[in-house]
Amino acid sequence: MADKERNLYYLDDLPGYKVDSDYSDVRGWELHDSTGRTIGKVDGLLANKATERVVYLDVEVGDEFKKESHEPYQVPANEGAHEFINKEGENHLIVPIGMVDIDDDNKKVLARNLDYKTFTSARRFSAGIDISPDYEQKMLRHYTNEKALGRGHEDDFYGRPEFENPWRRNPEDKNYKRSDC
């Protein structure tokens, strides 16, 4: 994908970018659905360079998760979409950071309103690939059930509540200013 079409970059690939000390670095932590079932581990963080902040978790799904019966993702035929089946090696998901809470004490990430079935029916990707705006749109629709999302990335796409970072350790700090992430 051409660099000008990219919205997302892996934080590890951006020299000079790091997780600010006011935020928890959740890489390596387990992601759990809203009922507490383990989905996988946070493998990386995806940042939007224009907003200079992390907007997604890159989650590698666990072996137990992969063994689950997987129903192909399907959009109603009247929308003109076709179903897909996740292929071998496609074992990563993106999750908007505003849709999770963190448990610093137990080093866990908790999906607020996303259950196991939502994750098992989500389209996955292979580690390290560039994430397209189209994939972002599909995943946000999948997680929110919001069919009226715009077709592209409007200027305020990352201004949605799904991308608000809930992880600042000291939210009462009035002198806080947004850092790289």
Closest CA to 48 of 129, 135, 158: 158
pLDDT of residue 11: 92
Model pLDDT for residues 29-50, shown as the tens digit of each residue: 999 999 999 999 999 999 988 8
Model pLDDT for residues 5-26, shown as the tens digit of each residue: 678 999 999 988 888 888 889 9
Cβ–Cβ < 8 Å for 45, 10: yes
Pairwise CA distance, residues 48 & 74, whole Å: 29
**What integer is the mean pLDDT of 113-141?**
90
Where in the chain are the domains? 3-161
* Per-residue pLDDT band at 164 (split at 50, 70, 90): confident
**CATH number of this structure's domain 3-161, picked from the four choices 3.90.50.10, 3.30.830.10, 3.20.20.450, 3.40.50.720:** 3.90.50.10
